[in-house]
Amino acid sequence: MEVFDSYESLKKVLNEGVGSIGMVPTMGALHEGHLSLIRRAAQENQRVLISIFVNPTQFEEASDLINYPKTLVEDLKAIASIDSKTYVYVPKTNDIYGQNALTETFDLSDLDQVMEGSKRKNHFQGVATIVKFFLETFKPTKAYFGQKDYQQLQIILQLAEKLNLNTEIIGCPIVREVDGLAMSSRNKHLTPAERKIAPLVFKALLEVKEMSKNKKYSVLKSFINAFFVEHSQLELDYFVIADSKTLLEISDQDKAREGRAFIAVRLGKIRLIDNLDLA
Ligand code: PAF
């Protein structure tokens, strides 16, 4: 494992070496979900590049950015245990952005206007800015992203296509705790009591999946509303069934089971998101 804090020196080493590069962009606080992406990148490529960078342009609130969990020593230990030629890019903000961390503006074809995008105004422009930087700078053969952030994955797939970035974007399955909670770096901030009830979010999605076989969307929505009234520690932010490519919400006439269910819930100070293919 080699660690770099400057993209210029990393780029030089990558250019001097040979073999395909699988990149896994992360914001650190690595968990089994990230490690599954890194292992897959290692299986499919000769070299693996992992970035650990908490990207300021994708955060709306300064407090969220400051409080984002940071576990660099443990992250590097976990990466070192993976049997592959690994490069880790851990930059300071100015290595990427210079003195001003500015967001580029992309036409994201409204994929950024729904769900997470409607709640976090410039979030996806910030994500697109940093992902474009990584893909253009390091030119990985493949880049790996988790389906936990399914909307982000669709936006990156489209961005790579529109900008003709020469990297294959690979979406990988959500990794869950044994009780069903989708793994996320932010789960570290849940209190023990919150952690116990957090799996209810996935339980609600599983019930929706079962009901979607013969119930209309409006019935599923009423079910979800009632579910979160009953479990009132979890505050429903949104529940949407949408087309898995366009992310457009389905109508009551559509077959719910052909869509994908998306949910965001507030639990104490933490926002949990999850999604499930209903097919
Ligand atoms: O999913 C994330 O961790 C981030 O949004 C990403 C893709 C690393 C960009 O900062």
Tell me the three state secondary structure of residue 48. strand
Render pLDDT for 143-173 as a digit per residue (tens, 0 to 9): 999 999 999 999 999 999 999 999 999 999 9
The rounded Å distance from CA 195 to ligand 1 centre is: 23
Q: Give the alpha-carbon dihedral of 153, 156, 157, 160, to 10 degrees.
A: -160
Q: Say how many Å lie between the CA of residue 125 and the centre of ligand 1.
A: 12
Fold of the CATH domain 185-277: Pantoate--beta-alanine Ligase; Chain: A,domain 2 (3.30.1300)
How far is it, in rounded angstroms, from Cα 80 to Cα 77? 5
Q: Which residues of the chain have pLDDT under 70?
A: none
Task: State both tokens at 5.
Answer: 């804090």
pLDDT, tens digit, 9 for 90 and up, residues 47-96: 999 999 999 999 999 999 999 999 999 999 999 999 999 999 999 999 99
Specify the pLDDT at position 72. Answer: 98
Task: Give the β-pairing of 234-242 and 260-267.
Answer: antiparallel
Question: Please, which residues have CB within 8 angstroms of residue 218's CB and are 6 or more apart in sequence?
Answer: 252
- DSSP, collapsed to helix, strand or coil, labels residue 144 as strand
Looking at residue 257, its pLDDT comes to 96
Please work out, in degrees rounded to the nearest 5, the angle formed at the alpha carbon of residue 46 by the alpha carbons of 40 and 47: 80
Nearest to 116 by CA among 159, 149, 67: 149
- CATH 3.40.50.620 residue spans of the chain: 2-172
CATH class of segment(s) 2-172: alpha beta
Determine the 3-state secondary structure of 146 from DSSP.
strand
66 CA to middle of ligand 1, Å? 16
The three-class DSSP label of residue 277 is strand
Per DSSP, 211 falls in state H
**Distinct helix (H) and strand (E) counts, the chain:** 11, 9
Residue 34 among the catalytic residues: yes
127 lines ligand 1 (CB under 6 A): yes
Nearest residue to 239 via CA among 278, 198, 268, 204: 204
Query: Do 237 and 262 form a contact (C-beta atoms < 8 A)?
Result: no
**Is the distance from CB of 126 to CB of 59 less than 8 angstroms?**
yes
Q: At what angle do helices 150-162 and 123-138 cross, to 10 degrees?
A: 50
* DSSP class of 103: P
Rounded Cα–Cα distance for residues 138 and 130 (Å)? 12
Q: State the Cα angle at 113 between 138 and 135, rounded to 5°.
A: 5
What letter does residue 195 receive in the DSSP assignment? Answer: H
Q: What is the pLDDT of residue 181?
A: 98
Q: Is the CB of 190 under 6 A from ligand 1?
A: no
Place of tokens 């996806």: 124
Residue nearest to atom 3 of ligand 1 (CA): 26
25: Cβ below 6 Å to ligand 1? yes
Q: Is 89 in contact with 10 (CB distance < 8 Å)?
A: yes
- Residue whose pair of structure tokens reads 């901030």 in the numeric block: 189
Q: What is the CA(252)–ligand 1 centre distance, in A?
A: 33
> Residue 169 and residue 174: Cα distance in Å, rounded?
16
As annotated, the residues of the chain forming the CATH 3.30.1300.10 domain(s) are 185-277
Ligand 1: which residue has its CA nearest to atom 1?
Answer: 26
Q: Which residue is listed with tokens 């001097």?
A: 16
* Cβ–Cβ under 8 Å, residues 115 and 264: yes
